[in-house]
Amino acid sequence: MDNEKTREELLKEKLFYKKENTFANADETYSKRVSDYAEGYKAFLDNAKTEREAVCESIKMLKNAGYTEYNLGDKIEKGGAYYFNNRGKSLYAFRIGEENPERGIRICAAHIDSPRLDLKQHPLYENEGLAYFKTHYYGGIRKYQWVTIPLALHGVVTLINGENVEITIGENENDPVFCITDLLPHLAKEQVSKPMGSVFTGEGMNLLIGSQPFGKCDEAVKLNVLSILNEKYGISENDFMSAELVALPAGKARDMGLDKSMIHAYGHDDKVCAYPALTSVIDCKDSEHTVMCILADKEEIGSDGVSGMKSSLMVDIINEIAVATGANASVVRANSMCLSADVNAGYDPMFPEVYEKRNSAIMNCGVVMSKYTGSGGKSSTSDASAEYVAYIRRIFQEEGVIWQTAELGKVDAGGGGTVAKYIANQNITTVDLGVPVLSMHAPYEVIAKNDLYETHKAFCAFCK
Ligand code: MN
Ligand code: MN
C-alpha cells in the first residue's frame, strides 16, 4: 500500500478551507476542560435568568476576582479592576492595564436580557373563577412555543417608599408554577387550520395563576391571589404599577444528549456569550491591555434606554478612564477593539431550507464569527473590515481557537442584529462573535459545550 498523498491531495490541503470539528482532535484533557467550564456556566445560568439576576451573579464573580465597585467620578488607577453596576440591569467590568489606554481598550460586549413574558402594569384579573396575569411579551418570541409549559415568575416590585421586594416563584421543587393554556386537540379543528403566526395573539398570552376563592364575594379568586401575595410580600394591586415581573421557563439548565455534549436551557441567548466574556476578562488579569466586559440590557427589544447599548454610558466610562490616565478619549476609542459577543443560528438539519450551508454555523465546529449581521442586503449592520477579521484570524490561529464564520441563514430568509453596530458607531472597531444555538428564542434553547469552551478561549485570546 502506498500511503503517499497524491499531488492533488497535497495541493488541496494547501489551498482549500476546511471547517474544523472540535471533536476531531479532542483528547481527555480537552473534554475535561470543556465539561468543567460547562458546569460553571450552568450554575451561572440557573442564577441569572433575568438581567437583574445576571448582574448580581456577575458581581459575585467579579468581587471574588478582586474587582471593586466603581461609580462615575470615582478615582481610577492603573492596575485597578472595577465594576460599574448600572441601575442593577447592566454591568461594566474593566481592568486598567499597564499599556497606555490610547493603544485601545479590548472590549467584550454581550447582553444579559432574554426573550420572556413581562407582566403588564395592571396584570391581574379574574374570569369565570380563574385568575390570570396579563402579559406583554418581551423580544422576538414565537408565541405557540410558550403555551402549556411550566413558567416561573421572577422580578422586583418597587414599593412606593422605594423599597425593592424581590420575587422568585417556580424554581424550587415545592414552588407552584404557572402556565398559559391551549386548546385540546379534540376541539382544535379550526385552530390547526390557521396560519401558525395567527393562532396565539399577544392579548391571549395570559398566565393562569389561581382558582381558589377568598370567601364569598365578587372577584373572590382575584382577592385570594392578592391576599396570598400580600401575606408573603406585603404588596397590593397598586404595586404592580411599579414592578418588573416576568414569566419565564421554570427549571434548571440540563445536559442534553446521551453523550451530554449539549446544554438545554432557557436564556442561552445571550448568557452563553456573557459568561465567557466575563470569565475571559477575569482570567486575563496579566494582560497589559485595558480590558472591558460589557453586559448590556434591552438588546432583545432594540438596545434603547439607560441600560441598553445605545446609551452614552460606554462612552462616559471610556472618557473617565481616559481622564484618569491622561489619555485622549477620542484616540482611546479609535484604537479600541470590540468583540460583540452574541449567539448565532446553528445549522439545523431539520430545517435546511432556511440555511446556506457553506456560510452557516455548524454545531461543535467552534465559536462563530459574523463579519456582518443585518437583513436584506446587509441592512443595519456595522460590517467589520477585512483588516479586523484578518487580525482576529491571526490571534485565533496563534491561540489554537477553533472557529468558523457564518451568516444568519440564507440571504433574504430573514435576519437579525446585535449590539455590534451601536459600539461601532462610537468609532470602535467591532465584529460579532459567539456561540451557535439551536431553537434560538424558544423557551429552551440548545448549545454545544465544545462551542461554549471555544468561545471562552476566543475571548481570552482577544483580551490577552
Ligand atoms: Mn442575542
Ligand atoms: Mn436574541
For residues 92 and 129, state if they share a domain. no
Whether the CB-CB separation of 348 and 5 falls below 8 Å is answered with: no
Q: Report pLDDT for 32.
A: 98
Cα 75 to averaged position of ligand 1 atoms, centre (Å): 33
Is beta strand 290-296 parallel, antiparallel or unpaired with respect to 105-111?
parallel
Ligand 1 centroid – CA 3 distance (Å): 47
What 3-state class would DSSP assign to 436?
Answer: strand
Residue 131 lies in a domain: yes
Q: Which residues contact 389 (CB under 8 A, 6 or more apart)?
A: 369, 371, 431
- Predicted pLDDT at 229: 98
Q: What angle do CA 449, 429, 67 make, to 5 degrees?
A: 60
C-alpha cell at 224: 385570594
Ligand closest in space to the Cα of 342: 1
Ligand 2 centre to CA of 304 (Å) is 15
C-alpha 202 – ligand 1 centre gap (Å)? 22
Query: Per the domain annotation, does 406 fall within a domain?
Result: yes
**Whether residue 195 is found in the same domain as residue 84:** no
* Ligand number with the minimum distance to the CA of 270: 1
Whether residue 452 lies inside any domain: the answer is yes
To 5 degrees, how large is the angle CA 276–CA 282–CA 286?
Answer: 125
Cβ pair 432, 420 in contact under 8 A: yes
Give Cα separations from 63 to 59, 67, 232, 278 (angstroms). 6, 5, 31, 12
Q: How many angstroms does the Cα of residue 449 sit away from the middle of ligand 1?
A: 18
Distance 294 CA to ligand 1 centre (A): 14
What separation in Å is there between the alpha carbon of 338 and the centre of ligand 1? 16
Among 249, 275, 302, residue at a domain's last position: 249
100 and 131 housed in the same domain: no
Ligand 1 center from residue 115 Cα (angstroms): 9
CA nearest to 123, candidates 266, 225, 228, 232: 225
> How close is the Cα of 47 to the center of ligand 2, in Å?
19
In tens digits, what is the pLDDT along the chain, a chain of 464 residues?
557 899 999 999 999 999 999 999 999 999 999 999 999 999 999 999 999 999 999 999 999 999 999 999 999 999 999 999 999 999 999 999 999 999 999 999 999 999 999 999 999 999 999 999 999 999 999 999 999 999 999 999 999 999 999 999 999 999 999 999 999 999 999 999 999 999 999 999 999 999 999 999 999 999 999 999 999 999 999 999 999 999 999 999 999 999 999 999 999 999 999 999 999 999 999 999 999 999 999 999 999 999 999 999 999 999 999 999 999 999 999 999 999 999 999 999 999 999 999 999 999 999 999 999 999 999 999 999 999 999 999 999 999 999 999 999 999 999 999 999 999 999 999 999 999 999 999 999 999 999 999 999 999 999 99
Cross-strand pairs, 404: 368
Ligand 1 centroid from CA 296, angstroms: 10
Do 398 and 355 lie in one domain? The reply is: yes
Residues 341 and 450 in one domain: yes
What is residue 265's three-state secondary structure? strand
Pair 299, 422 in one domain = yes
Bridging pattern class, strands 337-341 and 262-265: unpaired
Q: How far apart are CA 371 and CA 393, in angstroms?
A: 12
Q: Say how far apart CA 104 and CA 3 lie, in whole Å.
A: 50
- Ligand 1 centre distance from Cα of residue 342 (Å): 5
Cell numbers representing residue 422 in the block: 451601536
Q: Hey, is 31 helix, strand or coil? A: helix
Establish if 97 belongs to a structural domain: yes
> Does 179 lie in the same domain as 81?
no
Coil, helix or strand for 308?
coil
What is the model's pTM? Answer: 0.98
Is residue 100 domain-shared with residue 222, that is, in the same domain?
Answer: no
Q: Identify the nearest ligand to the CA of 110 by its number.
A: 1
Q: Which of 249, 277, 307 is the last residue of a domain?
A: 249
Gap from CA of 269 to ligand 2 centroid (Å): 5
Phi, psi of 341 (to 5 degrees): -90, 100
End of a domain among 184, 214, 249? 249
Are 277 and 398 within one domain? yes
Cell representation of residue 399: 491561540
C-alpha of residue 308 to centroid of ligand 2, in Å: 14
Outline where 359-447 has alpha helix (H).
386-399, 420-424
> How many beta carbons lie within 10 A of that of residue 236, not counting itself?
13
The C-alpha cell at 2 is: 502506498
Containing 272, the helix (H) or strand (E) segment is: helix 268-283
Within a domain: 201:
yes
Q: What is the count of structural domains for the chain?
A: 2
Task: Give 214: exposed, middle or buried? Use CB within 10 Å, 0-12, 13-18, 19+.
Answer: middle
32 C-beta neighbours (distance < 10 Å), count: 10
Domain-located, residue 340: yes
Phi, psi of 396 (to 5 degrees): -70, -40
Domain assignment of residue 129, yes or no: yes
Cis upstream peptide for 270 (omega within 30°): yes
The β-bridge relationship of strands 116-127 and 243-249 is antiparallel
Write the CB contacts of 136 (distance below 8 Å, at least 6 apart in sequence): 117, 118, 119, 120, 202
- 349 & 308 share domain: yes
CATH of residue 193's domain is 2.30.250.10
CATH of the domain at 441: 3.40.630.10
Q: Which pLDDT value is given to residue 1?
A: 55
Same-domain pairing of 434 and 335: yes
- Shortest-distance ligand to the CA of residue 344: 1
Q: How far is the CA of 381 from the centre of ligand 1 (A)?
A: 14
Please, which residues have CB within 8 angstroms of residue 377's CB and are 6 or more apart in sequence?
none
- Determine contact, residues 403/369, Cβ cutoff 8 Å: yes
Residue 3 has a pLDDT of: 76
* pLDDT for 89: 98
CA distance 459 to 277: 6
d(CA 182, CA 453) in angstroms, rounded, equals 39
Whole domain around residue 241: which residue ranges? 116-249
* Same domain for 218 and 277: no
DSSP notation for 112-143: ----EEEEEEEEEEEETTEEEEEEEEESS--G
Calpha distance 430→340 (Å, rounded): 7
**154 in a structural domain:** yes
CA of 323 to the centre of ligand 1 (A): 32
Cα-to-centroid distance, 417 and ligand 1 (Å): 8
